[in-house]
């Protein structure tokens, strides 16, 4: 199965609002996306199938500064990603190691 890869680059993200904006941009979420945890969870489980009919890999880069700045938010974000992956077998969320400044 071919995987379609989307990069979610969190470079410069310092709060939940910026995280939601990055998710909306990277994943092509609609303008009416609610920019809250529930809306993100719903959006991740309702993404359209990627081109080619394969799975979707979301690669999260430069996440460490955000995780250190907002550890409680980062725990919630990880939980939202994990629950989405549990619900959508063709979805993978990968944390890139390295490359974080």
Domains of the chain: residue spans and CATH: 4-95 (3.30.370.10)
- Looking at residues 14-39, what average pLDDT do you find? 95
List beta partners, residue 7. Answer: 59
SS3 25: helix
Instruction: Report the residue count for the chain.
Output: 101
| pLDDT score, position 2 | 67
Structural contact between residues 84 and 41, judged by C-beta atoms closer than 8 angstroms: yes
| pLDDT score, position 100 | 46
pTM: 0.90
Residue-wise pLDDT for 37-78, tens only, equals: 999 999 999 988 777 778 999 999 999 999 999 999 999 999
Alpha-carbon span 35 to 52, nearest angstrom: 28
| pLDDT score, position 52 | 74
């Amino acid at each position: 199965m071919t995987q379609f890869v989307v990069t979610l680059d969190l470079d410069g993200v310092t709060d939940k609002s910026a995280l939601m904006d990055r998710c909306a941009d990277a994943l092509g979420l609609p303008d009416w996306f609610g920019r809250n945890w529930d809306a993100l969870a719903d959006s991740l489980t309702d993404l359209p199938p990627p081109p080619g009919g394969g799975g979707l890999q979301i690669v999260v880069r430069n996440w460490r500064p955000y995780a250190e700045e907002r550890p409680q938010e980062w725990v919630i974000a990880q939980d939202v990603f994990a629950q989405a992956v549990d619900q959508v077998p063709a979805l993978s969320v990968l944390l890139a190691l390295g490359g974080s400044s």
